Amino acid sequence: MTGDRQAMLFGLGAVALWSTVATAFKVALGYMSPLALMWIASLVSWALMGVLVARQGLLGQALRHGWRTAAWAGLMNPVAYYLVLFGAYDRLPGQEAMALNYTWALAMAFLAVPILGQRLTRIDVLAGLIAYAGVWVIATRGAVFDVAFADPLGVGLALSSTLLWALYWLLNARDHRPPLVAQWQNFSVGVPVLTVLLLAGPGLSWYGWTALGAGIYVGLFEMGIAFVLWQLAVHRVSRTAKVSNLIFLSPPVSLLLLFLVVGEPILPSTLVGLVLILGGLGLQQWQKTPAPVAQID
């Protein structure tokens, strides 16, 4: 099997898993707070990454080097990013939070201007206008001439999560740690912080087997296995765009699962907004000279 074919299979596996997490988020958040979900999922992901780091013989390196970077990176991801993201999912319908979160690639392109000194192309600007028009449609639930959002805080949290995610990857553009090591170290920083926040706040509680299963699923697949599959895809493919475009398959599947499992009616405004967002992302991805930041994964 060629490297590109393997990469496509790994990429499809990651996208398939990511397509299920919006549903898992909504199921879990129906039983527990965002902080409790974050703690369970992070603990599971940390344990999984630790096993993988040890199996690859990287544990010694992980224990000795890289902690200066992990000290701030772990506070951004998982702590800040996922708490904000789960807060958005807790307030908004899953379809809206999922769609708004897909604008992180555009946020990255715009933030790369002041942080990395990159220039925006005309296509980047046009793509941004198209995609953020979709954000407006979703945020107003179709009442595009009404500035009163259905849930301003939820929309703000969803868009803030895109800024945090984009900022995290831009600041890590020069991070030379192996991806698995970096992920495990970041979660090694994040889990104790989340534990302190949980104990100082709502405390440990038993939410039932369904909630526990959903939390384990999020940690194992969204934060764990999907990450590993995506890294394998990116490192084996001859050109990153071949696998990065696979992410466009995820939103339709996510919407279907939210409808079938959670029972969310699919709003026309979500469909229109999502088409605009994906159209803007597609325009940015397929321009003749992609901005270098689009290659950061």
**Total domains present in the chain:** 1
Q: Is 79 exposed, middle or buried (0-12, 13-18, 19+ CB in 10 A)?
A: buried
The pLDDT value recorded for residue 75 is 95
- Report the b/e string of 108-117 with b at 16+ CB within 10 A: bbbbbeeebe
The pLDDT value recorded for residue 23 is 93
Residue 55 lies in a domain: yes
Please name the residues in contact with 157: beta carbons below 8 A apart, sequence gap of 6 or more.
84, 85, 87, 88, 91
Residue 201 lies in a domain: yes
The pLDDT value recorded for residue 148 is 65
69-83 confidence digits (pLDDT tens) = 999 999 999 999 999
Residue 169 lies in a domain: no
Query: According to DSSP H, which parts of the chain are helical?
Result: 3-29, 34-55, 59-64, 67-74, 81-91, 94-101, 104-116, 122-139, 152-171, 179-200, 209-217, 226-236, 240-244, 250-257, 268-285
Residue 204 lies in a domain: yes
Residue 83 lies in a domain: no
The pLDDT value recorded for residue 228 is 85
Handedness of CA 52, 56, 62, 64 (dihedral sign): positive
The pLDDT value recorded for residue 46 is 95
Residue 200 lies in a domain: yes
- Is the Cβ–Cβ distance between 68 and 176 less than 8 Å? no
DSSP code of residue 31: T
Percent pLDDT > 90 in the chain is 39
Distances (CA, A) of 64 to 68, 70, 274: 11, 12, 44
The pLDDT value recorded for residue 114 is 85
DSSP 101-148: HTTHHHHHHHHHHHHH-----HHHHHHHHHHHHHHHHHHTTT-TT---
Tokens found for residue 38: 């974050």
CA distance 227 to 220: 10
Positions in the chain short of pLDDT 70: 1-2, 146-148, 239-242, 244, 287-297
The pLDDT value recorded for residue 113 is 83
Tokens found for residue 91: 């307030």
246-271 confidence digits (pLDDT tens) = 777 888 889 899 999 989 998 898 89
| Domain hosting residue 58, numbered range | 1-66+178-247
**Rounded to two decimals, what is the model's pTM?**
0.85
Tokens found for residue 60: 């010694």
Using CA atoms of 268, 269, 275, 280 in order, give the dihedral in degrees to the nearest 10: 180
Residue 44 lies in a domain: yes
Residue 119 lies in a domain: no
The pLDDT value recorded for residue 222 is 86
The pLDDT value recorded for residue 26 is 92
Distances (CA, A) of 35 to 43, 75, 149, 164, 196: 12, 14, 25, 17, 11
Taking each helix axis as running N to C, give the angle between helix 152-171 and helix 104-116, from 0 to 180 degrees, rounded to the nearest 10. 50
